[in-house]
Amino acid sequence: MDRKRSAAAAGQAWQIYSETLRPDAPGLWERTRAVPRMIKSVLRGQYKGMSFGTLGLLALGLVYIISPIDAIPDVIPFAGIADDTGLALWLATVLVRSAGDFVTWERGGRPTVIVGEPVD
């Protein structure tokens, strides 16, 4: 991972963290606790704010980080760790942002869609 991508990932992570500090936004701890509920709601089809594809990419990213097999081996001093770090930042960014949207959806009373009815 080159420096521009690392800087972009770090900037994105900082932007998400700053978003959690706003008074009307869900906090970081609240978002973290909401992740398991969000995953259950996505799998049950109740929450449409995250697709199955995104959930699958998150799972594959987690497997990649945990797996000893890497695209860039960790024995290469900087690059081996940088790809795992960049992927971990991406995972955290997607999870925190999605969990914030999920908490906002929960606070809104979990609107449901009735087939054939117009959606506001």
For residue 76, tell me if it sits in a domain.
Answer: yes
Mean of pLDDT over the chain: 80
The pLDDT value recorded for residue 108 is 83
Checking if the pLDDT of 80 tops 80, the result is no
Q: Are 32 and 99 in contact (CB under 8 A)?
A: yes
The number of folded domains in the chain is 1
Contacts of 97 (CB under 8 A, 6+ apart): 16, 19
Residue 10 is assigned to a structural domain of this protein = yes
83 falls within a domain: yes
Locate tokens 């959606």: which residue?
Answer: 119
Q: How distant, in Å, are the alpha carbons of 9, 22, 61, 108 from that of 54? A: 18, 26, 10, 23
| Residue partners of 96: CB distance under 8 A and separation at least 6 | 16, 17, 20, 28, 31, 32
Tokens of 17: 């963290």
- Range with the largest mean pLDDT of 15-19, 34-38, 71-75, 108-112: 34-38
Does the residue 90 lie in any domain?
yes
In a domain, 34, yes or no: no
What are the tens digits of pLDDT across the range 4-36?
666 766 777 777 777 777 777 788 888 889 999
Structure-block tokens of residue 28: 């970081």
Decide if 120 is inside a domain: no
Structural domain includes residue 26: no
Query: Which two structure tokens, joined as six digits, stand for 29?
Result: 């701890």
Range of the domain at 93: 1-16+50-106
